[in-house]
Amino acid sequence: MLIQDCTVDSTFGDVALQFATLFSDNQYYWFTERRFNSLFRLNKETLIATFVGLFPEEEIFKKNLYSSFSKCNDKFYFAPHAANAICEFAPATGMFRKIVFKPPVKASHEFYESVKFIKVVTLCNRVFFIPYYYPAIVCYDTELETLSYYDDWIEKIENIRTSEQYGYFTDCEVDNSRMILPCVCADAIVIFNTDTMLSEVWKTPSNNNEHKYSSVCSDNETHYFLSSGTTVVKRNMKFHNEAIEKISLPNINENVTSSKWPFFRLKSLEDSIWILPYEMPYSLEMKKFTLLFSYPHFFVKQRRNTANNNTFNSIKN
């Protein structure tokens, strides 16, 4: 998201703010800054960005403290990316509250401190924190103010892991009482039932890349998965052994496949699937019924200004 002609309040002066993650309500865009400890809100009418506050007991100049947040019962809940704790924020009072989760029992990945959780999912009064390197799905009950940990899928995934480099998940799709979690580190999809709090692991056909799935989206009938940033996998997610259709993205040549993630995110919008880039200089639009592609948006200038960072990390309606 690029917002021009935006004014930052006098607290920070004339500075270009970089979004780490974004939440939109009727009046404001709320966002964390990627490069340092801070929460901002941007007035949609005036385009004035206001500094809201600091996350408690976190370093000031640390990148990507919180990668995702969501709202539950009028409070925000932030998933710790590089931060040390979950954070709760009440917009009505401006109060921050730290929620400490237990450290991993087993030895952590060498990059665990940099990427603990990747996404937040809110269902009724519960907030689920989707892990990247943390070895469990964590659920916070906002009524009981308790944390629960669900890791019945861990051993199954570790047994079929194809790379030590990658974490567990980078995306999640809610399908009624199921959370669909495609794995980055294994040829598998974890299905977490939010009623029973139990998981299934569905193995998927193997591909030759160490990194597997980066994104998932659906249109209530069909699920679409982005495999290795080069292929869209289309399936219904009704049965483990159901038919699977693979659609190769166009113009993925040898130079592109040497890249870790040519494309990274999917979004279902009306009759199209949008495929957003990580290192490629353009996005793709794929029509759901014809499976034809177009190149509607190019980001060459924006890519040049990102200093080798990915173009898109997430997408919201």
Q: Would 31 be classed as within a structural domain?
A: no
pLDDT digits (tens, 9 = 90+) for 141-163: 999 999 999 999 999 999 999 98
pLDDT at 309 exceeding the cut of 50: no
Long-range contact set of residues 283-288: C-beta below 8 Å, sequence gap at least 24: 284/249, 284/250, 286/232, 286/247, 288/219, 288/222
Q: Are 78 and 55 in contact (CB under 8 A)?
A: yes
pLDDT digits (tens, 9 = 90+) for 223-269: 999 999 899 999 999 999 999 999 999 877 655 554 578 899 999 99
Number of neighbouring beta carbons within 10 Å of residue 54: 14
Q: Are 98 and 110 in contact (CB under 8 A)?
A: no
DSSP-derived pairing of the beta strands 188-193 and 178-182? antiparallel
Tell me which DSSP letter residue 102 carries: P
The C-alpha atoms of residue 212 and residue 114 are separated, in whole angstroms, by: 20
Q: The dihedral of CA 123, 126, 131, 137: what is its sign?
A: negative
Q: Are 111 and 69 in contact (CB under 8 A)?
A: no
pLDDT band at 308 (very low <50, low <70, confident <90, very high): very low
The pLDDT value given to residue 107: 63
pLDDT at 11 exceeding the cut of 80: no
Q: Would 160 be classed as within a structural domain?
A: no
The C-alpha atoms of residue 54 and residue 15 are separated, in whole angstroms, by: 17
Three-state secondary structure readout of 227-276 = ECCCEEEEECCCCCCCCCEEEECCCCCHHHHCCCCCEEEEEEECCEEEEE
47-66: average pLDDT: 93
Kindly list the distances between the CA atom of residue 211 and the CA atoms of 122, 187, 264, 306, in Å, as whole numbers in the listed order. 27, 9, 11, 23
Q: Would 180 be classed as within a structural domain?
A: yes
Cα 196 from chain centre: 24
**Average pLDDT value for the chain:** 88
pLDDT at 277 exceeding the cut of 60: yes
CATH number at residue 195: 2.130.10.10
The C-alpha atoms of residue 170 and residue 130 are separated, in whole angstroms, by: 8
Q: Would 288 be classed as within a structural domain?
A: yes
Domain total in the chain: 1
Q: Would 177 be classed as within a structural domain?
A: yes
Q: Would 97 be classed as within a structural domain?
A: no
Cα 76 from chain centre: 16
Q: Would 6 be classed as within a structural domain?
A: no
Q: Which domain holds residue 228?
A: 165-317
pLDDT at 304 exceeding the cut of 50: no
Q: Would 112 be classed as within a structural domain?
A: no
